[in-house]
Each structure stands twice: as C-alpha cells, then as structure tokens.
C-alpha cells in the first residue's frame, strides 16, 4: 500500500484517516483499528478491511469540528440529558477542543451509545455526548469514545 507508506510518521492504530480506494472507486473515512490487515471502523461502528493494493491516496484527519455547541437549543440539551439520565446545568464543549493536542488512544471503551460506571453516565446521541462525568481524565476518555460514534459536542451536567 504505497499511499499508506508515504504517511510520515507511519499510521497508528486509533488514528482517523481518509482513504481514496480503487476497485471499486470510493472514499472511506474512519478510525484505524488494525494494521494487518488494514481495518477502519466507520462512524456507524462497521469495520472495513482494506484490500492490499487498493489505497490510491491516504491522509490523516482530525476529530470533526461540528457546530458551535453554544447555539444548541436548551430544550434539545435538556431532552438529551433526560434520556442520558443526568441533570444539572449544562457545561458545553466542542469535542475537538477537548481532544486538541492529545495523543490518540489505540482503543476506546467497548460498546456504543451508552456507558456507565457507578454513578457516572454517558450517552451518545446524534452529534452529542451527554454525561455527568466531571473527572477530566475520564471525560477525555469518553470524548475519544464518543468521537468514534460521530459525536462532535459534549454537555457535562454537574
């Protein structure tokens, strides 16, 4: 895969990439979950094994920016919080801001959609991660988990 070999430094598990594939011609964007064989997980959680010799072009891409979370209607945020089982005043962030400059983890929490541990709750719905997690390190882990599900904003309910 000459196109992959041109990436410097070499691609790592956990990174988000976009590939131009041939045979059939298509674009694929996702997170690298395996290198041999090259396997990407798309935003829907589907794994795509990339056949050898089919990558025409490759590049790394960052976490999706998304809309300004401060422009979200309060009733939408409140409804998301109810479905996530959390309450309190929302603190809003772009996931891309939370993750900027942080190393990409090779793995994230298992499962999709909902996560919980003790009193802590998190739910991904559409472009939103809604949680009551206040620990900064755990919030970062949840943000990486959520971005793999196409979330772009987070509301923390304290």
Any idea what the CATH number is for the domain that residue 52 is in?
2.30.30
Tokens 């094994």 sit on residue: 49
* Rounded distance between C-alpha atoms, residue 136 and residue 142, angstroms: 10
Residues 111 and 143 in one domain: yes
The residue among 41, 60, 79 that closes a domain is 60
Regions in the chain scoring below 70 on pLDDT: 1
pLDDT of residue 5: 83
Distances (CA, A) of 90 to 80, 125, 133: 11, 16, 12
Answer yes or no: do 73 and 111 share one domain. Answer: yes
Answer yes or no: do 53 and 74 share one domain: no
Chain-centre distance of CA 101, in angstroms?
A: 15
Is the domain of 75 the same as that of 148?
yes
What is the reported pLDDT for 36? 94
> Rounded to an integer, what is the distance from CA 3 to the centroid of its chain?
24
Q: Are residues 56 and 73 in the same domain?
A: no
19 and 92 co-located in one domain: no
- Residue from 5, 8, 29 nearest 17 by CA: 29
Residues 39 and 89 in one domain: no
Pairing state of beta strands 128-131 and 120-125? Answer: antiparallel
- At 23 the pLDDT is 82
Please report the pLDDT score of residue 57 as a whole number: 95
* Domains contained in the chain, number: 2
Dist CA 58 CA 76 (whole Å): 37
Range of the domain at 42: 2-60
Q: Give the full edge-to-edge strand order of the sheet including 120-125.
A: 90-94, 153-157, 128-131, 120-125, 114-117
The pLDDT of residue 2 is 80
Q: What pLDDT score was predicted for residue 1?
A: 59
Q: What is the pTM of this model?
A: 0.91
Same domain, 10 and 56: yes
DSSP states of 114-157 as a string? Answer: EEEETTEEEEEETTEEEE----HHHHHHHHHHHHTTT--EEEEE
Please indicate, yes or no, whether residues 48 and 78 belong to a single structural domain of this protein: no
pLDDT at 3: 84
Same domain (yes/no): 54, 101: no
């Amino acid at each position: 895969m000459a196109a992959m070999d041109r990436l410097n430094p070499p691609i790592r598990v956990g990174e988000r990439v976009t590939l131009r594939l041939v045979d059939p011609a298509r674009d694929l964007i996702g997170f690298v979950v395996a290198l041999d064989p090259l396997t990407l997980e798309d935003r829907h959680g589907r794994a795509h094994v990339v056949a050898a010799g089919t990558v025409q072009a490759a590049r790394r891409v960052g976490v999706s920016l998304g809309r300004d979370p401060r422009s979200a209607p309060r009733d939408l945020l409140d409804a998301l919080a109810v479905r996530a089982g959390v309450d309190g005043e929302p603190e809003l962030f772009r996931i891309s801001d939370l993750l900027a400059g942080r190393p990409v983890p090779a793995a994230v929490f298992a499962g999709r959609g909902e996560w919980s541990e003790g009193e802590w709750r998190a739910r991904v719905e559409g472009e939103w991660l809604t949680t009551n997690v206040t620990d900064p390190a755990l919030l970062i882990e949840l943000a990486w988990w959520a971005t793999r599900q196409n979330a772009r904003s987070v509301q923390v309910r304290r």
